[in-house]
Structure 1
Amino acid sequence: MVGPTRFRLLGEEADLADHGWDDPELPKLWRYNQHYFDDLNAHDAVGRSEWHAALIARWIPDNPPPRGSGWEPYPTSLRIVNWIKFALSGNDLSGAVRQSLAVQTRWLRKRLEWHLLGNHLFANAKALVFSGLFFSGEEAAGWLHTGAHILLKQMPEQILADGAQFELSPMYHALALEDLLDLLNLTRAFGRDDLAEEFASRIPAMLEWLLAMSHPDGEVAFFNDTAVGIAPDNIELFRYAHDLGFAIEPPFAGITYLVESGYVRMACEAAIVIADLARIGPDYLPGHAHADTLSFEFTLDGNRFIVNSGTSVYGTGVERQRQRGTAAHSSLVIDGENSSEVWSGFRVGRRAKPFDVAVSGEETSFTAHGAHDGYTHLPGSPVHRREWRLSEGQLFVEDAVEGSGLHQLEAYFHLGPGISAVANTADGVVELSDIKTGRQAVFAAKGGLVEVIPSSWHPEFGKRVDTKAIRVSAYQSLPHTLQYELSWSAL
């Protein structure tokens, strides 16, 4: 909140006085956020507590049940949790507010999102646990029982053995980690040690996964639907976990293979590669998936050198479709097709399935390899194989495309913000420079035409940063191999 009735959400400001709670001129996701009440527990929230109390009091008569976006199950779930956190932080709730909370919980209990499952159902169940402990009596005990039962059934499915949230989005993983930290905090505070132990058992692996999937800048890598500014940032989550008694250990140097989720992290001196050898997510829940199989991000000296382009919009528009497509990621496109058939805003048809995944390495030389079948529906049944080799001062990447027939191959390497690029197309070399650190690097390619093209990076919802990308293209008979080498010297 930037004023008593004014919000800055998803990079866009609007005032309640001008738009109300459900103005169709504003995007649906923006309106959802307006009903979440996240600011009750945001940075420096204590200084805005009078605004918050007045906003809660206003929401109740302005949003009679069951009208509008605010009464849909997901925003209702988040609002219930935020109002109860507000109360447990020392703020008084009037009788009318408590009555509204009870009404909202009764409404939610009858509308759990079993049809969506995933993070939506998890949020529903979390809200029931919060209300079930906050209130007393037989009805509250029923809410607690239902919510806890759902969570205990869903955790083994939604939290993989390597700690990943099963939708394989680092952003949604961070949100799920916050959920479990909240649930642990709450159940300990209310003396439900039985539940607290269950929630606590999942958290160490989730912390390790988040660390492995983050860059030295302290933010997550951009795979599937991921942006910063939606989940709490890493430093807040690690502080929260530390306060609840968990040790925070930095990721190991060398190679880390997150087997169940399918990601690989390689770290050698100043360089880090995070590579996607994963499936797109659960077969029945691909809504937050991108066509990003065999993409990767690369950090040098703590800065993002090669990136995926991120997520700045939801909905069903052209830009949403583009950001989910393979060409918006540092991967290989064949015949202009996406590796997985992303469509509409949250749908996937044909899906790329990775196979032949292998990792190896020791001391200062590491290798990861994988293939996928996302292009085998094309004539000649192309199969994309990619290998990364990271060593001191060098990253070598190879795309081997098996199959037959003539095909257009386009490999994209999206450059991070602040990375300048000058191409010498005659010899297939691009000179790179990090404006922030002064680091110089050279990109060279074999087997295709090298170009530097305009690109964009989307680190937050509602935000676009103009950048550059290297594209290596070839129109060749298969099989064909493209090779790329990024090299740098010590500062």
Structure 2
Amino acid sequence: MRLWRTLRHLRPAQVIHRLWYRARLPYFRTALASTRLGEETAAPVLALPSAPGNEANGRLILTGRVRLVGLEGPATGWTEPGLPLLWRFTLHYFEWLADLRVLGDEGREPARALVAHWLARFERFDPVAWHPYPLSLRLVSWLAHAEFLCQGAEAGFAEAFHRSLHRQARHLERVWERDVGGNHLIKNLKAAIAAAVCLPGHRAGLARALEVLEHEIGRQVLPDGCHYERSPSYHFQVLGDLEDLAALVPEPPAILAGAIGRMRPAAAFFVMAPGLLAQFNDGTADGPAASPEGPVPAALPAAGYWRLEAGAARLLVDCGPCCPDDLPAHAHADTLSFELFDGDHPLVVNCGTYAYQDAQWRNRFRGTAFHSTLSVDEGDSAEVYGGFRLGRRPERFRVECAGGRFSGEFDGWSRLGLTHGRTLSLGEGGLEGTDEVTASRPGSSHTLTVRFHLHPSVTARREGDEIALVTAGGARWRFAAPGLTLSLAESRYSPRFHEMQPTLCIRLDLPFSGEKAVLPWRFYRP
């Protein structure tokens, strides 16, 4: 039944594309499939702009090691069994070529050697190396660094490198991720368009790719400018890809400029402080180094996010769908959770995303208890499972927001006959909140738990019936919840992949078996 609750939301075309891709995997491994990719060796006619590199990681690569998504491994660890799939995918992206390029001539020959090592190992199809997602990012990376790699290279290397570019572009044409969609399909289209513009003989694919791109922009960019996966991190990724495409395509479609214009204010919405994004629905806390310019929207209502500000305090709250129904990969059970900052310093946060391939932690970080909201019987308000799957999910939401006051309600606990509502009022004195749980079937016994996860930089100590808090910026706050059982408990915080920090959470517990439970609380400045 759990699987059915997932599959019933998928579009039939997604299932067809997934089955078609899997059915062709044996064929992709054959010599015939490899031969049909061609033997062209024409050099790119245009080099893509290169992203800035990290010199420290470049110097690490010179030693034969590389650091990716928070983990260090061998620079040729394409199939390293002890490293997660995300790490191996990232190695296959070759985005780390920028880290060698920043070293200049010192990094050129080691970069060529690693590319040559990949060519020798993976010129024939491999399900990881030639998976359409790493393939797309690698194509863009190789086109960006083609001149750096081939300058002064032996003719044999340059021919093999250019041949592989053409072959990978040909393979990408037949494996766009229409089954996944979302940011994956945007990456596929970006690579396909880059190949069509930069590689001789691929121009015919440009019109088709642009047509699909226009369709996907219409699906994926919501009217309020938020990317429909509702992840701040992936919103920035997709925005960056669209901006790159606008600069690359000779005559970009009008819908592309319109989408970028809507997405930029939405991106600013998620920036809580310079360098820090709100953490909802996967990704990392890493954001732009500078504060956004121009007005920041007060809400992204189509996505289901609201933002309150009062003096130095700013709060961002989620009361929208967990994800697009047909793309649950990055969904968290986090409805009515919020993050609270004092100036540039976080106070209350969600716990983040530790890893994608980690049976112990993946769904704990996706679960309700790892977000600053209420849980019932330590369960989840949405049925997260399997790493990237989502079964039962909230479907009805009610929101009112005006004058510094937010009120929201959703049906994520309807299977228990319960409804959760939260009211938040942010003012100069602090944040006042109330959680209400109403029962349609009074008499059942439950335990309500509200958690407020504190950023690791916050110091907290119990003082009588309250909690005294100090942010990294020295701002003093207090937390009070009169009449409720209050405690400080251990928690975890992950600002980026494979980085976990111990922290604390404020916890409220209340037995409940009646018609309505009301849990009032407040964060205030003493």
The CA distance in 2 between the partners of 1:33 and 1:276, in whole Å, is 30
Counterparts of 1:447 and 1:141 in 2: how far apart (Å)?
Answer: 69
Q: Which residue of 2 aligns with 1:383?
A: 419
In structure 2, C-alpha distance between the alignment counterparts of 1:169 and 1:262, rounded to whole Å: 11
Q: What SS does the aligned partner of 1:446 have?
A: coil
AA partner of residue 211 (structure 1): A
> Match of 1:312?
354
In structure 2, relative to structure 1, the CA distance for the partners of 1:212 and 1:64 (3 Å cut) is same
Q: What is residue 508 of structure 2 aligned with on the other side?
A: 472
User: Distance between the aligned counterparts of 1:447 and 1:372, measured in 2?
Assistant: 25
Equivalent residues of 2:274, 2:288 under 8 A apart: no
2:343 paired residue among 295, 301, 309: 301
- Paired position in structure 1 for 2:473: 437
Letter in 2 for 1:451: S
Relative contact order, CA 8 A, sep 6+: which one is greater?
Answer: 2
Could you say if the C-alpha distance between residues 417 and 201 of structure 1 is closer, same or farther in structure 2, counting changes exceeding 3 Å? same
Question: In the alignment, which of 363, 373, 378 is matched to residue 336 of structure 1?
Answer: 378
Partner of 1:207: 264
CA distance in 2, matches of 1:475, 1:90: 65
Distance, in Å, in 1 between the alignment partners of 2:239 and 2:69 is 21
CA 27–38 in structure 1, closer or farther in 2 if over 3 Å, else same: same
Q: Residue 415 of structure 1 is aligned with which of 454, 458, 465? A: 454
SS in structure 1 of the partner of residue 271 of structure 2: coil
Distance (whole Å) between structure 2 residues aligned to residue 390 and residue 216 of structure 1: 18
Identify which range, 35-44 or 261-270, moves more after superposition: 35-44
CA contact (8 A) 1:287 1:347 kept: yes
* 2:61 aligned residue: 3
Pairwise CA distance, 1:466: 0.9
2:92 corresponds to 1:35: yes
User: In structure 2, what is the Cα distance between the partners aligned to 1:120 and 1:134?
Assistant: 21
User: Secondary structure in 2 aligned to 1:164?
Assistant: coil
Aligned partner (choices 326, 329, 341) of residue 287 of structure 1: 329
Q: Which aligned pairs between 1:158-307 and structure 2 lie closer than 5 A?
A: 158-187=220-249, 192-195=250-253, 197-228=254-285, 233-235=287-289, 249-252=293-296, 256-307=298-349
* Change in CA separation of 1:131 and 1:339 when aligned onto 2, cut-off 3 Å: same
| Amino-acid identity (%) | 34
Aligned length: 456
Render the CA deviation track for 1:243-264: whole Å, top value 9, x for unaligned.
Answer: xxxxx62444xx7021111101
Q: 2:176–2:188: 8 Å Cα contact kept in structure 1?
A: yes
Deviation at 1:46, TM superposition (A): 5.3
Deviation of the 1:42 alpha carbon = 5.4
SS of match in other structure, 2:522:
strand
Does residue 98 (structure 1) correspond to residue 136 (structure 2)? The answer is no
Superposition pairs of residues 105-144 of structure 1, within 5 angstroms: 105-137=169-201, 140-144=202-206
SS at match of 1:234: coil
- Whichever residue aligns with residue 51 of structure 1, its letter is P
AA aligned opposite 2:345: N
**How far did residue 8 of structure 1 move?**
0.3
Q: Which amino acid aligns with 1:12?
A: L
Identify the residue that residue 46 of structure 2 maps to in structure 1.
none
| CA offsets 1:194-213 (integer angstroms, 9 cap, x no match) | 43x43222112211111111
**CA contact 1:401–1:479 (8 Å) conserved in 2:** yes
Q: CA RMSD in A?
A: 2.0
Aligned residue in 1 for 2:208: 146
2:71 equivalent in structure 1? 12
Whole-angstrom distance in 2 between the partners of 1:334 and 1:184: 47
Query: 2:397 is matched by which residue type in structure 1?
Result: F
Find the aligned partners of 2:243 and 2:147 in 1 and give their Cα distance.
15
Secondary structure of the equivalent of 1:313? coil
Do 2:397 and 2:408's aligned partners in 1 also have CA atoms closer than 8 Å?
A: yes
Q: Which runs of 5 or more residues in structure 2 are unaligned?
A: 1-56
Question: Offset at 1:43?
Answer: 9.4
Structure 1 counterpart of 2:332, one-letter code: H
Cα deviation digits, residues 19-68 of structure 1 (max 9, x gap)? x4112222111100110011234597353344333322321112122024
Q: Distance in 2 between matches of 1:407 and 1:395?
A: 27
Aligned to 2:217: 155
Query: How many angstroms apart in 2 are the aligned matches of 1:352 and 1:142?
Result: 44
Corresponding residue for residue 87 of structure 1: 146
Supply the distance in 1 between the matched residues of 2:129 and 2:149 (Cα, whole angstroms). Answer: 25
Query: Structure 2 CA distance, aligned partners of 1:214 and 1:306?
Result: 15
Query: Whole-Å Cα distance in 2 between the matches of residues 284 and 68 of structure 1?
Result: 24
Name 2:30's counterpart in structure 1: none
Q: Which amino acid aligns with 2:217?
A: M
Deviation (angstroms), 1:80 = 0.3
Distance 1:49 1:150 in 2: 37
State which of 389, 412, 420 in structure 2 corresponds to 1:347.
Answer: 389
Q: Counterpart of 2:524?
A: 487
Cα distance in 1, alignment partners of residues 345 and 210 from structure 2:
42
Matched AA of 1:431:
A
What code does the residue aligned with 2:447 have?
Answer: Q
Distance 1:293 1:43, change over 3 A: farther
Question: If the length of structure 1 is used for normalisation, what is the TM-score?
Answer: 0.88
- Find the aligned partners of 1:413 and 1:59 in 2 and give their Cα distance: 47
Partners of 1:165 and 1:305 lie apart in 2 by: 26
1:212-253 CA distance string (max 9 Å, x none) = 111113321000112145xxx4248x9xxxxxxxxx62444x
Assess if the C-alpha contact under 8 Å between 2:381 and 2:412 holds in 1.
Answer: yes
Runs of 4+ with deviation above 4 angstroms? 88-93
Decide whether aligned partners of structure 1 residues 451 and 360 sit closer, same or farther in structure 2, where only a CA change above 3 A counts: same
Code of the aligned partner of 1:69: V
User: Could you say which residue in structure 2 is the equivalent of 1:324?
Assistant: 366
